[in-house]
């Protein structure tokens, strides 16, 4: 099964991103034919700073490789290294009714937030459709906010196929409902916009501990049993634990000998240990940027072959010599 995931490089990754999006993606590569790319043309719709966009693109590649994208199993590239996608975007534009784009929630939300409407922002879903259709994608794992974009892709592909024959495979979105919303240090959904995130790659253990210490907890005095149910520290810690170790932690809460400070320290250790291998890999990639570039360049090469084949079909179908 051909599965495509697109990554918007937007800075430091947090634990919510890891459990909500990255871990399921990394597990997918064991089972499916996974294609993953960094959507830097999409980022251009809102980016104002060339240096920053370059850095974010590189950092995202390093982070994903460090956390487990395996270039031997997954085709991994940067969107702009496969420019065929822009030609397809134009071809698909003709099959995209204005009304379809006008109904896009994500566009309307961005405009409501004060982002100036421009054509790239408006036609963002057509470029996403081109990403998806260029490689006969069957499944697209997405967050709920992106479902509509995959549905639009199906609409556009259907219109094209109706006119020119069965050129495109109709993709399906996959939303992983099992993944719970990971809480931040205040108990609300963890998000980089709410200043409540715990980043995956904190510079030092001390800084990570400081962040964990900020997790909101009740004020039961030390020496009394604590309630783990609904405790943000427990909820975060349990992400890293199997059933047996969850029971052990519950027993420690009920034991009444430890306070929240102990559990915050325990959580810090869980996080620090979970990502220790990834931290080492990250150091290695940061010290060997050429290795990262080579991996991305190999991925793009593979993709360009697939893209050329598809574009030949498309060009033939529409009558472009
Ligand atoms: P943020 O809210 O920090 O801006 P993004 O919107 O960039 O995060 O999300 C990137 C991916 O991580 C999406 O697939 C999203 O579903 C997932 N994700 C982000 N925050 C959480 C969370 N708190 N719990 C579960 N998944 C999350
Ligand atoms: N729009 C997606 C997001 O913001 C990123 C993306 C671009 C994408 N092209 C894609 C995701 C193709 C899946 C498939 O998260």
Closest ligand to residue 35's CA: 2
In Å, what is the CA distance from 4 to each residue of 134, 137, 204?
Answer: 11, 6, 34
Supply the mean pLDDT for the chain: 95
Q: Which domains does the chain have, with CATH numbers?
A: 2-182+289-318 (3.40.50.620), 205-274 (1.10.240.10)
Identify the pLDDT of residue 115. Answer: 87
Atom in ligand 2 nearest the alpha carbon of residue 149: 1
Based on the number of CB atoms within 10 Å of its own CB, is 36 exposed (0-12), middle (13-18) or buried (19 or more)?
A: buried
Please list every protein residue whose CB sits less than 6 Å from any atom of ligand 2. 4-6, 8, 39, 42, 128, 131-132, 140, 142, 146
Find the 258 Cα to ligand 1 centroid distance in Å: 32
Highest-confidence segment of 111-115, 172-176, 267-271 = 267-271
Angstrom distance (rounded) from CA 10 to CA 97: 30
Residues 25 and 5 sit within 8 Å (Cβ to Cβ): yes
Identify the pLDDT of residue 4. Answer: 97
Is 308 strand, coil or helix?
helix
Least confident of 190-194, 269-273, 287-291: 190-194
Is 174 strand, coil or helix?
strand
Cβ of 176 closer than 6 Å to ligand 1, yes or no, is no
Looking up tokens 């024959």, which residue turns up?
A: 165
Identify the pLDDT of residue 173. Answer: 95
Among candidates 88, 26, 119, which has minimal Cα distance to 317?
88
Find the 85 Cα to ligand 2 centroid distance in Å: 13
Here the contacts of 214-221 (C-beta below 8 Å, separation 24 or greater) are 214/185, 215/185, 215/264, 215/267, 216/185, 216/186, 216/187, 217/260, 217/264, 220/259, 220/260, 221/259
pLDDT digits (tens, 9 = 90+) for 14-59: 999 999 889 989 999 999 999 999 999 999 988 889 999 999 999 9
Q: What percent of the chain has pLDDT over 70?
A: 100
Q: How confident is the model at residue 178 (pLDDT cuts 50, 70, 90)?
A: confident
Find the 6 Cα to ligand 2 centroid distance in Å: 4
Cβ of 188 closer than 6 Å to ligand 1, yes or no, is no
Q: Whose CA is nearest to atom 2 of ligand 1?
A: 191
Identify the pLDDT of residue 98. Answer: 96
Give residues with Cβ within 8 angstroms of 35, minimum separation 6.
2, 3, 4, 5, 74, 75, 135, 137, 303
pLDDT digits (tens, 9 = 90+) for 215-261: 999 887 777 899 999 999 999 999 999 999 999 999 999 998 999 99
Identify the pLDDT of residue 232. Answer: 94
Q: Whose CA is nearest to atom 6 of ligand 2?
A: 6
Angstrom distance (rounded) from CA 92 to CA 19: 34
In Å, what is the CA distance from 288 to each residue of 79, 98, 124, 178, 321?
Answer: 22, 46, 33, 37, 43
Q: What share of the chain is helix, strand, coil (3-state, %, to 5)?
A: 60, 10, 35
- Active site (annotated) includes residue 110: yes
Angstrom distance (rounded) from CA 169 to CA 161: 9
Mutate which of 104, 142, 154 for ligand 2? The one with the most ligand atoms within 8 Å of its CB, which is 142
Q: Whose CA is nearest to atom 8 of ligand 1?
A: 191
Which two three-digit tokens encode residue 47?
Answer: 């980016």
Q: At what angle do helices 119-133 and 147-164 cross, to 10 degrees?
A: 70
Residues 275 and 203 sit within 8 Å (Cβ to Cβ): no
Q: How confident is the model at residue 284 (pLDDT cuts 50, 70, 90)?
A: very high
Q: Whose CA is nearest to atom 3 of ligand 2?
A: 8
Find the 282 Cα to ligand 2 centroid distance in Å: 24
Angstrom distance (rounded) from CA 229 to CA 246: 12
Identify the pLDDT of residue 119. Answer: 95
pLDDT digits (tens, 9 = 90+) for 5-26: 999 988 889 999 999 889 989 9
Q: Which of 12, 23, 159, 192 is catalytic?
A: 192
Q: Which of 159, 189, 281, 302 is catalytic?
A: 189
- Active site (annotated) includes residue 265: no
Q: What is the CA radius of gyration of the chain?
A: 22
Average pLDDT over residues 175-185: 84
């Amino acid at each position: 099964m051909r599965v495509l995931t697109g990554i918007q490089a937007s800075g430091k990754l947090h634990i919510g991103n890891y459990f909500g999006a990255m871990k399921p993606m990394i597990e997918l590569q064991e089972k499916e034919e996974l294609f993953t790319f960094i959507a830097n043309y999409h980022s251009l719709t809102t980016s104002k700073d060339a240096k920053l966009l370059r850095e974010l693109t590189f950092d995202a590649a390093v982070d994903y490789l460090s956390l487990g994208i395996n270039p031997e199993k997954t085709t991994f590239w940067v969107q702009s290294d496969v420019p065929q996608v822009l030609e397809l975007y134009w071809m698909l534009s003709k099959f995209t009714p204005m009304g379809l784009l006008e109904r896009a929630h994500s566009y309307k939300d961005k405009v409501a937030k004060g982002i100036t409407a421009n054509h790239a922002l408006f036609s963002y879903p057509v470029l996403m459709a081109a990403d998806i259709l260029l490689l006969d994608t069957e499944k697209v794992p997405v967050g709920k906010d992106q479902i509509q974009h995959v549905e639009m892709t199906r609409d556009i592909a259907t219109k094209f196929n109706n006119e020119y024959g069965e050129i495109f495979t109709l993709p399906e979105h996959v939303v992983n409902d099992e993944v719970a919303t990971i809480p931040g240090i205040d108990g609300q959904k963890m998000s980089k916009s709410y200043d409540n995130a715990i980043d995956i790659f904190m510079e030092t253990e001390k800084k990570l501990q400081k962040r964990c210490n900020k997790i909101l907890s009740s004020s039961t005095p030390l020496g009394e049993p604590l309630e783990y149910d609904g405790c943000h520290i427990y909820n975060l810690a349990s992400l890293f634990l199997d059933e047996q170790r969850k029971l052990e932690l519950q027993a420690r809460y009920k034991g009444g000998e430890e306070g929240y400070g102990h559990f915050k320290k325990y959580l810090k250790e869980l996080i620090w240990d979970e990502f220790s291998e990834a931290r080492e890999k990250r150091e290695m990639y940061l010290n060997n940027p050429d290795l990262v570039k080579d991996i991305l360049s190999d991925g793009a090469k593979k993709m360009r072959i697939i893209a050329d084949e598809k574009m030949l079909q498309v060009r033939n179908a529409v009558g472009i010599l």
